[in-house]
Amino acid sequence: MAKVTNPRQLAVLTLNKLEKTEDFLREVLDSHLRQNSLSSLDQGLYTELVYGTVRMRRSLDYVLSLCSSRPLAKIKPEILNVLRSAVYQILYLDRVPARAAVHEAVNLARLFGHEGLAKFTNGILRQVVRRRGSIPYPDQGRDLVRHLGVKYSFPDWIVEHWLDWLGKDETVALCQALNEPPRLQIRVNTLKHSPEEVQTYLEGRGLSVKPGQYAPDILEVSPAHLAVRDQGLEAGMYYVQDESSALAAHALQAEPGQTVYDLCSAPGGKATHLAQLMGNEGKILAFDISPNRLRLVEENARRLGAAIIETRVGNAAENLQLPPAPRVLVDAPCSGLGTMGHRPDIRWRKELGDIEELAALQRQILAAAARYVVPGGLLLYSTCTLTSNENQAVADWFLASHGDFQGYSFPDWFPASAGPAWMKTILPHRHGLDGFFLAIFRKI
């Protein structure tokens, strides 16, 4: 098949594939970038169109339903994705003139359909352009959950949970923050280079670079697609990791020479970070239930030079018969809602029923992990999600049911967070990072 050079056409092809498969957005997008021929500038537009259209799908469909006499379910899927991506440009991309978005969409409708569908597309999008400043979203006085869900493009169950947990103002701010284009952060591999050396290197490659907000080994870089395709990544100069996730290894406060158990390790971001913070002195046993995913840990460890990591297949929810160690990390399986900025498809993949199932699994893993901590040792519980059921409730349950543990303090430089001192909830609208949760316990 001929390589695609039109970023809008490739965006529609990507959206079409996502509709037909269970593949993750990032995997499909990366595959399409490798297989086709987009300029550096067009790669940025293509990525923005795919991420934005997936992120705002519910809102886009609502707007389309106001402007189409035909039910969306009866529109050819390829044409519906043409319409969605065009409406995203009209409503959310100021740098794209509306007439250009309409013109390109009409051409794509002709390509994916026929002249009749091109005229249909033109008619709908002209209505969207006329109505874009006065879209009548559902009345918030009658149904606040649906109003926010439609306007900000989240499932109702997520909005309802956040309203109960955070209240209206913070829920609105959180929705807005998670709909911002994501920023890329990298963790400098200090086993090989200093942050200053990596910053100088990347700036020399034409990237904009600035230090992270909190962690000393984090840099924020743009444009993102240049950083993830630079040879420095493959050479182990740095690892792509959001700053909130990087806080976990710092929170565990592991020391050189210690033994650390990372019970849910794949793909190895936190294990390799711990190795560099320990100066490659000691031992890190990295467990995962999947041998295939453990190979990712091994590949990352080799690339980054993290020599003290040993991988083992093991189910963290069961008793692994481990001798007690001074540091244990449980980066638990979770619903991942804190990463929706980088992974917008997650909001459409999870359901309310998943949350309690995950919370039960998290309690099971923590109960098993408690057996492996020496007196005076630390146990860290972390997730990359934003539900109180998986975060605060699980942490509170652990202390209430394990009288031989108590809450422990974080390093002084950690971001401020509401709640007890042994618990940190990183919120995108407050901290400007991916959503993340940390709770640290000390065995008495």
Q: Report how far apart the first and last C-alpha atoms of the chain are (Å, whole number).
A: 64
User: What is the rounded distance in angstroms from the CA atom of residue 334 to the CA atom of residue 218?
Assistant: 24
Question: By the 8 A CB rule, do 381 and 332 touch?
Answer: yes
Confidence (pLDDT) at 41: 84
Per-residue pLDDT of the chain (444 residues; tens, 9 = 90+): 578 999 999 999 999 999 888 788 988 998 998 898 888 889 889 999 999 999 999 999 999 999 999 999 999 999 999 999 999 999 999 888 999 999 999 999 999 999 999 999 999 999 999 999 899 999 999 999 999 999 999 999 999 999 999 999 999 999 999 999 889 999 999 999 999 999 999 999 999 999 999 999 999 999 888 898 899 999 999 999 999 999 999 999 999 999 999 999 999 999 999 999 999 999 999 999 999 999 999 999 999 999 999 999 999 999 999 999 999 999 999 999 999 999 999 999 999 999 999 999 999 999 999 999 999 999 999 999 999 999 999 999 999 999 999 999 999 999 999 899 999 999 999 999 999 999 999 999
CATH no. for 184-240: 3.30.70.1170
User: What is the rounded distance in angstroms from the CA atom of residue 26 to the CA atom of residue 344?
Assistant: 10
Q: What is the dihedral of CA 210, 437, 386, 361, to 10 degrees?
A: 140
Residue 175 annotated in active site? no
Residues sharing a CB contact under 8 Å with residue 245, sequence separation 6 or more, in sequence order: 269, 270, 384, 434, 436
DSSP state of 419: S
Q: Report residue 350 as tokens.
A: 């999870």
Size of the chain in residues: 444
Tell whether domain 7-131 is in CATH 1.10.940.10: yes
Residues sharing a CB contact under 8 Å with residue 82, sequence separation 6 or more, in sequence order: 12, 105, 108, 109, 112, 121
User: What is the rounded distance in angstroms from the CA atom of residue 81 to the CA atom of residue 425?
Assistant: 36
User: What is the rounded distance in angstroms from the CA atom of residue 219 to the CA atom of residue 69?
Assistant: 49
User: What is the rounded distance in angstroms from the CA atom of residue 250 to the CA atom of residue 309?
Assistant: 17
User: Cα dist. 219→25, 29, 46, 301, 305 in Å?
Assistant: 24, 24, 24, 20, 20
User: What is the rounded distance in angstroms from the CA atom of residue 125 to the CA atom of residue 128?
Assistant: 5
Give me the phi and psi of 110, to 5 degrees please: -70, -40
In Å, how far from its chain's centre is CA 380?
Answer: 20
| Residue of 67, 264, 334, 384 with catalytic role | 384
User: What is the rounded distance in angstroms from the CA atom of residue 220 to the CA atom of residue 64?
Assistant: 36
Q: Report residue 162 as tokens.
A: 């956040």
User: What is the rounded distance in angstroms from the CA atom of residue 360 to the CA atom of residue 108?
Assistant: 47
The CATH class of 244-443 is alpha beta
**Collapsed DSSP state (helix, strand, coil) of residue 317:** coil
Q: Where are the domains of the chain?
A: 7-131, 144-178, 184-240, 244-443
Confidence (pLDDT) at 1: 56
Residues sharing a CB contact under 8 Å with residue 306, sequence separation 6 or more, in sequence order: 191, 271, 272, 275, 276, 280, 284, 300
